[in-house]
Amino acid sequence: MKQNPQAVRLRAAFRRAGGVLRTAQALRAGVHPRDLYALRDAGVLEQISRGVYRLADLPPFADPDLVTVVLRVPKAVIALVSALHFHGLTTEIPHEVSVALPQGTSRPRLDWPRLRVYWLSGAMFTSGIETHQRDGVRLRVYGAAKTVADCFKFRNRLGIQVAVEALRTGIEERKFTPAELLRAARTCRVGRIVRPYLEALQ
């Protein structure tokens, strides 16, 4: 297998992509499906989700759930409780991955991990997106201020205490400034709701 030119090409394609590729990406790189499956069966690749493969000799993922979601759902932005956890703004351990998708997008079909999807439109979806590298994969995550504002927006689903704890932690640890939070809150149309909680901390 090591001498197979296709195998060599496939390994090189995976290395260039940070060690992870979707099947469609491998095919575009000129790799035949049988070589992909042969390397999987030989233990050179591991299948981390349907249609997503990774070089088996890489260190384990630090965030396998997040990486799997962004690889399978490219339009997704890590949001709300999952984004709070990413930024260290909550003591809650997420049991599902919360993502935002553009309004009108179909619900993703994922066997694992569990998803909680929020459909947003306009500036509520596009504002505050940050890009982070994690496990060699590009993650799109809402920034700390936008995430806290979103938590106030969806306080009836999450509970107001989740939002208040994140607000307090974010200010104390200087994850964002009051001005940054208020800008995000206005975008999410919760400025009047956030302001009294923010003023109580100052």
Query: Residue 2: what pLDDT?
Result: 47
Q: Which two tokens stand for residue 187?
A: 């975008």
List Cβ neighbours of 172 (8 Å cut-off, separation of 6 or more): none
Query: Residue 77: what pLDDT?
Result: 95
Distance, in Å, from the CA atom of 73 to the CA atom of 54, rounded to the nearest integer, reads 17
DSSP per-residue codes, the chain: -TT-HHHHHHHHHHHHTTTEEEHHHHHHTT--HHHHHHHHHTTSEEEEETTEEEETTSPPPSSHHHHHHHHH-TT-EE-HHHHHHHTT--S---SSEEEEEETTPPPP--SSS-EEEEEE-HHHHHTTEEEEEETTEEEEEE-HHHHHHHHHHTHHHH-HHHHHHHHHHHHHTTSS-HHHHHHHHHHTT-HHHHHHHHHHT-
pLDDT tens-digit series, residues 114-168: 889 999 999 999 999 999 987 677 889 999 999 999 999 999 999 999 999 999 9
Query: Residue 5: what pLDDT?
Result: 66
Domain boundaries, the chain: 5-55, 64-200
pLDDT tens-digit series, residues 67-111: 778 878 888 999 999 999 999 998 877 788 999 999 988 887 777
Instruction: Place 1 in a pLDDT band, splitting at 50, 70 and 90.
Output: very low
What pTM does this model have?
A: 0.73
More confident residue, 185 or 108: 185
CATH of domain 5-55: 1.10.10
